[in-house]
Amino acid sequence: MTLRQTLLAGAVLTFAAAGSVSAAELNIACGTVGKGQQLCKEAVAEWEEKTGHTVNVISVPTSTNDQLALYQQILGSGSSDIDVFEVDVIWPGILGSHLLDLSPYTNGAEKDHFPAIIENNTYKGKLVAMPSYTDAGLLYYRKDLLEKYGEDKPATWQELTSTAQKIQDAEREAGNEKMWGFVFQAKAYEGLTCDAIEWVDSFNGGSIVSAEGDITINNPQAAEALTMAASWVGTIAPEGVLNYQEEDSRGVFQSGNAVFMRNWPYAWALSQSDDSPIKGKVGVMALPKGGEEGKQTGALGGWQLAVSKYTESPDAAADLVMWLTRKEEQKRRAIEGSYNPTISSLYTDEEILAATPFIGQLQDTFTNAVARPSRATGANYNKVSNAFYNAVHEVLSGKKDAATSLEDLERDLKRIKRRSW
């Protein structure tokens, strides 16, 4: 090799090294249920193309509890294994101290999002996550079956119970042995906290712990709500519901074997896909009231994107978050995956409303959704929810009556709270 060749080769190497320093390699964990991961991968690929950075999309467990445990372990050890990840609406108070302040990177974009979500994502004055989509519990129903049996959409849970029973019986009589009246999420996990807070709130029984931090769950309306839900297990819902997460209930409903389903907005896009046996047969409405005096409600859910404080590439990671949460991407996700935007101006977007009509029709459900007490209980929220869903699960599985279980729960929550959360 001549001297000139050696010098040239050295220059190329130096250039390559410089290139690899500026081109980051990131790991993102995204997409849990429905089309989430596919949509994330597509948007990430566009960003890679645009920026020259490389991103590995990591699969995560489907349950929010398992994800939280994983992130607590990774972040707790200060590891940089994951740069960007999705954050459940209930986590900012739990994980906030491990997340990067995104304010320097937003260019004011947070002003376009619902203020309540931005407030939720603000931890000790820092914007630790950008909203990606919002969620509220909804009731899915089979339009064709209600019509076939001359039944109205249920205004109360009591009506839902009798309509579900009637159609289930009639369909089984007609040879559809697998038909169930109602499927929901009753495994002992965070999803049950969502379902159960809806039952309780619909009976005006509050939200476990009030915004002021008072433990309110041990009340007669809450007991009535849980007693009602327990009556469904093994009658209009399969015993197996005690082990169902979102995707288990969707599996039953989407294969045509349930009249009603409680689920989040994402289930809509899948129910309308070309290979869905129930395409065109599904309606979506707000969850029923807990009796005439009750109210329509839905649990507030939703996901954000955040950057780990321990990332080696904060600028690239924050840029990716801004890309994935921007308006165009939220619109694409709403149309293709029925993920509800967090940007208010998208709620009048014609293309979104055509693809996912309930986004416009159920505005009240989305704006009045009942929040789990994650703000009031802060870092203790996970313990509170854990105690709640276990107490509810004991009622649903017939191990305890509702009044006793709520009394025990109140005692457990007091122990967790001590003098303050």
Q: Counting contacts by CB under 6 A, is residue 391 touching ligand GLC?
A: no
Q: Is 319 in the site for ligand GLC (CB under 6 A)?
A: no
Out of 101, 190, 247, 329, the only residue in the binding site for ligand GLC (CB under 6 A) is: 190
Q: How many CB atoms lie within 10 A of CB 124?
A: 10
Q: How far is CA 29 from CA 26, 56, 223, 262, in A?
A: 10, 8, 39, 26
Among residues 36, 93, 191, 314, the one that binds ligand GLC under rule CB under 6 A = 191
Number of residues that bind ligand GLC (CB under 6 A): 13
Look-up: residue for tokens 């993102």? 28
Report if residue 340 touches ligand GLC, rule: CB under 6 A. no
Binding residues for ligand GLC restricted to 246-285, rule: CB under 6 A: 246, 264
Task: Decide the pairing of beta strands 54-58 and 25-29.
Answer: parallel
In whole angstroms, give the CA distance from residue 231 to residue 244.
17
- Beta-strand pair 84-88/130-136: unpaired
With CB under 6 A as the contact rule, the residue among 301, 337, 341, 373 that binds ligand GLC is 301
Q: How far is the CB of 153 from ligand GLC (least distance, A)?
A: 24
Q: Which two tokens stand for residue 229?
A: 């839900």
Determine contact, residues 291/156, Cβ cutoff 8 Å: yes
- Element at 123 (helix H, strand E): strand 122-123
Query: How far apart are alpha carbons 100 and 85 in whole angstroms?
Result: 12
Q: Does 195 bind ligand GLC (CB under 6 A)?
A: no
**Complex with ligand GLC: residue 179 or 209, whichever CB lies closer:** 209
Q: Does 198 bind ligand GLC (CB under 6 A)?
A: no
Task: Give min distance, CB of 65 to ligand GLC, in A.
Answer: 8
Q: How far is CA 267 from CA 34, 48, 232, 353, 382, in A?
A: 7, 29, 22, 16, 26
For position 89 contacting ligand GLC by CB under 6 A, the verdict is yes
Stretch that binds ligand GLC, among 161-169, 296-304, 318-326, 401-409 (CB under 6 A): 296-304
Distance of closest approach, residue 257 Cβ to ligand GLC, in angstroms? 22
Query: Is the dihedral angle over the CA atoms 111, 116, 117, 122 positive or is it negative?
Result: positive
- Asked if 64 is part of the footprint of ligand GLC (rule: CB under 6 A), the reply reads yes
CA–CA gap between residue 306 and residue 321 (Å, rounded): 7
Site membership for ligand GLC, residue 334 (CB under 6 A): no
What is the closest distance, in whole angstroms, from the C-beta atom of residue 213 to ligand GLC in the complex? 21
Residue whose CB is nearest to ligand GLC in the complex, by number: 301
In 3D, which of 169, 164, 165 has the Cα closest to residue 139? 164
CB-nearer residue toward ligand GLC: 198 or 394: 198
Scanning residues 233 to 252, which ones bind ligand GLC (CB under 6 A)? 246
Residue 2 carries which side chain, given as an amino acid letter? Answer: T
Which DSSP category does 58 fall into? E
Question: Residue 299 Cβ, how far from ligand GLC at the closest point, in Å?
Answer: 8
Residue 31 interacts with ligand GLC (CB under 6 A): yes or no? no
Q: How many residues does the chain have?
A: 421
Give the CB-side neighbour count of residue 214, counting CA atoms within 13 A.
6
Nearer of residues 181 and 298 to ligand GLC, judged by Cβ: 298
314 binds ligand GLC (CB under 6 A): no
Which stretch, 108-116, 253-261, 295-303, 339-347, contacts ligand GLC (CB under 6 A)? Answer: 295-303
- Residue 283, phi-psi category: left (phi > 0), alpha (psi -120 to 50), beta (remainder): beta
Q: Does 88 bind ligand GLC (CB under 6 A)?
A: yes
Q: How far is the CB of 24 from ligand GLC (least distance, A)?
A: 29
User: From residue 117 to residue 136, what is the string marking binding to ligand GLC with x (rule CB under 6 A)?
Assistant: ------------------x-
The reply to whether 288 sits near ligand GLC by the rule CB under 6 A is: no
Structure tokens at 223: 């007991």
Nearer to ligand GLC, 291 or 341 (CB): 341
Q: Identify whether the C-beta of residue 83 lies closer than 8 Å to the C-beta of residue 302.
A: no
The encoded tokens of residue 134 equal 């919002």
Stretch binding ligand GLC (CB under 6 A), from 4-12, 86-94, 101-109, 313-321: 86-94
Q: In whole angstroms, how far apart are CA 272 and each of 61, 142, 185, 264?
A: 25, 12, 21, 14
CA-CA-CA-CA torsion sign (151, 154, 158, 164): positive
Residue with smaller CB distance to ligand GLC, 86 or 224: 86
Q: Contact positions toward ligand GLC, by CB under 6 A?
A: 64, 88-90, 135, 190-191, 194, 246, 264, 301-303
